[in-house]
């Protein structure tokens, strides 16, 4: 499923630009959560406590945000990232 | 799930709730150690999570690159392998997957059947970091340490997370995501870069980072700035006091000068001399001279002057103490017998002023007696 184009070193910058655009399109709180998760060593529970969110909400935002980025990287080859809750278990 | 006696509580919760949202936090390396181990156990038996994890790890890696770009001076850490064993490398003697070769892409997870049992103790390979750090897990085999469980970040020479969230963290929570994703690097990460090949520079920098002197320099600069600011504040305060004192002195001087001026004006109001008609003049005529205290502006005003003949004019004369006279200007009397003229002569040298009727062509000396006259006396 992985798009090899994003793994091409020449396409990394393009992938980063797509990821940034995808993150920018997310709601502010979700953007906060994703950014803090990457830029710090905080666990999702700590992020939830600091941000005043429910831990389950933070988990959902992380998963959905990553799917949004993944979709942006593959030009929509994957499922709708907003449908993260619909992933089967 | 309670029928499984050794199942960790977090795994029980995971399995009971079916909360697969943990996969996002796992891909972002944001799961606490206990939950991470539990989720990895779940991951071994969930094909869908394995496939999804590969997608999310790629996205997390790009996101990490977007927020924390690789730097020649930055310490980078290879991502630990997923719980699934590699198809190209055989399992380690303890049953764990072999370390992922550096610079190669992470292989896709194997089917569940190929995964080791969840109950087995988890071990993860560690990159060579130049020697164990205090508190690090003892190495039993070269390059391999047991992890029971391996907390996030430990064994990778990562700085230990603060037990309490610092102001920096709070600032991160409040500020980082407000703007477009920053390229500020807060802390080295490991798992959030899966799927990306670590650069040779970053791999070379895996050795323990030398303590930076930058914080000390920043602290010293801050202290110096504080001292300078205090000195400047004191100097400004002193300058302000001096200026206020100077202003008070100047205000006192101004008040004194105003008082002197008022007193002078009280004592030296305009000087006034009166001119009275002589026996030759009209009894209704009169004159008055106004002079300012310094005598630079002198005005003569006459009223009740009789009309003169066509070839006649009123002439002003200044009388000296020796009874001689000097000619002044002629008066242009209007039809009502009034005239107003400015005198430019220095009156202080004269004894009196007089007005005579002279020919319109003017006279060098008075040809008639005055009709109006006045004496300058000391005010």
Give me the helices (H) in A1-89, please. Answer: 4-7, 12-24, 28-39, 44-51, 55-73
CB contact under 8 A, A41 and B187: yes
Q: List all residues 6 or more positions away from B304 whose beta carbon is below 8 Å from its beta carbon.
A: B277, B282, B284, B285, B286, B337
The rounded distance, in Å, linking the Cα atoms of A71 and A21 is 11
Q: How far is B26 from chain A (nearest CA, A)?
A: 9
Mean pLDDT (chain B, rounded): 67
**Which residue among A35, A65, A85 sits closest to B176, beta carbon to beta carbon?**
A35
Model confidence at A85, pLDDT cuts 50, 70, 90, reads: very low
Question: What pLDDT shows up at residue B262?
Answer: 75
Q: What is the mean pLDDT of residues B91-119?
A: 38
pLDDT in tens, B123-160: 333 333 333 333 333 333 333 333 333 233 333 333 44
In this prediction, what percent of chain B has a pLDDT beyond 70?
53
CB contact under 8 A, A33 and B187: no
pLDDT in tens, B207-253: 444 556 667 777 878 888 888 888 888 888 888 888 988 999 999 88
Q: Which residue of B has its CA nearest to A53?
A: B173
* pTM of structure: 0.34
**Which residue among A19, A49, A62 sits closest to B62, beta carbon to beta carbon?**
A19
In this prediction, what percent of chain A has a pLDDT beyond 90?
22
Question: What pLDDT shows up at residue B18?
Answer: 56
Question: What pLDDT shows up at residue B95?
Answer: 37
CB contact under 8 A, B189 and A43: no
What are B126-131's contacts with CB under 8 Å, separation 24+? B126/B155, B126/B156, B127/B77, B127/B78, B127/B102, B127/B156, B127/B206, B128/B206, B129/B156, B129/B157, B129/B206, B129/B207, B129/B208, B130/B206, B130/B207, B130/B208, B131/B208
Q: List all residues 6 or more positions away from A74 whose beta carbon is below 8 Å from its beta carbon.
A: A3, A6
pLDDT in tens, B172-189: 445 444 544 433 334 444
| Three-point CA angle B15, B16, B21, nearest 5° | 60
Residue B191, pLDDT > 70, answer no
Quote ipTM for the complex. Answer: 0.79
């Amino acid at each position: 499923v992985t798009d090899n184009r994003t793994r091409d070193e020449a396409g990394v910058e393009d992938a980063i630009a797509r990821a940034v655009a995808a993150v920018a399109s997310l709601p502010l709180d979700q953007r906060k959560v994703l950014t803090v998760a990457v830029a710090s060593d905080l666990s999702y529970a700590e992020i939830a406590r600091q941000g005043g969110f429910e831990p389950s909400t933070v988990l959902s935002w992380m998963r959905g945000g990553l799917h949004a980025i993944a979709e942006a990287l593959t030009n929509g080859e994957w499922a709708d990232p907003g449908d993260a809750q619909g992933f089967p278990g | 799930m309670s029928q499984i006696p050794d199942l960790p509580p977090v795994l029980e919760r995971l399995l009971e709730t079916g909360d697969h949202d943990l996969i996002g936090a796992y891909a972002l390396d944001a799961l606490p150690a206990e939950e991470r181990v539990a989720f990895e156990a779940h991951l071994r038996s969930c094909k869908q999570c394995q496939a999804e994890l590969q997608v999310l790890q790629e996205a997390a890696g790009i996101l990490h690159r977007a927020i924390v770009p690789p730097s020649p001076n930055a310490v980078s850490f290879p991502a630990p392998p997923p719980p699934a064993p590699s198809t190209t490398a055989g399992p380690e003697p303890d049953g764990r997957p072999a370390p992922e070769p550096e610079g190669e892409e992470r292989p896709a997870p194997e089917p569940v059947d190929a995964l080791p049992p969840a109950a087995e103790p988890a071990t993860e390979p560690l990159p060579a970091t130049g020697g164990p750090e205090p508190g690090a897990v003892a190495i039993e085999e070269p390059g391999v340490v047991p992890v029971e469980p391996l907390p996030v970040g430990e064994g990778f020479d990562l700085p230990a997370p603060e037990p309490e969230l610092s102001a920096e963290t709070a600032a991160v929570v409040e500020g980082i995501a407000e703007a477009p994703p920053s390229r500020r690097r807060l802390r080295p990460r490991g798992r959030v870069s899966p799927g990306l090949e670590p650069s040779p520079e970053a791999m070379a920098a895996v050795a323990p980072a030398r303590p930076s002197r930058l914080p000390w320099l920043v602290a010293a600069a801050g202290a110096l700035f504080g001292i300078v600011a205090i000195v400047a504040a004191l100097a400004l305060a002193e300058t302000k006091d001096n200026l206020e004192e100077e202003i008070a002195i100047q205000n006192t001087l101004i008040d004194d000068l105003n008082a002197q001026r008022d007193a002078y004006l009280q004592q030296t109001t305009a000087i006034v001399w009166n001119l009275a008609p002589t026996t030759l003049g009209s009894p209704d005529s009169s004159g008055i001279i106004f002079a300012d205290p310094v005598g630079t502006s002198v005005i003569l005003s006459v009223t009740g002057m009789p009309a003169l003949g066509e070839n006649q004019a009123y002439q002003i004369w200044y009388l000296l103490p020796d009874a001689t006279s000097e000619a002044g200007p002629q008066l242009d009397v209007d039809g009502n017998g009034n005239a107003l003229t400015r005198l430019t002569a220095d009156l202080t040298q004269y004894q009196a002023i007089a007005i005579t009727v002279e020919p319109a062509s003017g006279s060098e000396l008075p040809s008639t007696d005055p009709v109006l006259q006045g004496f300058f006396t000391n005010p």
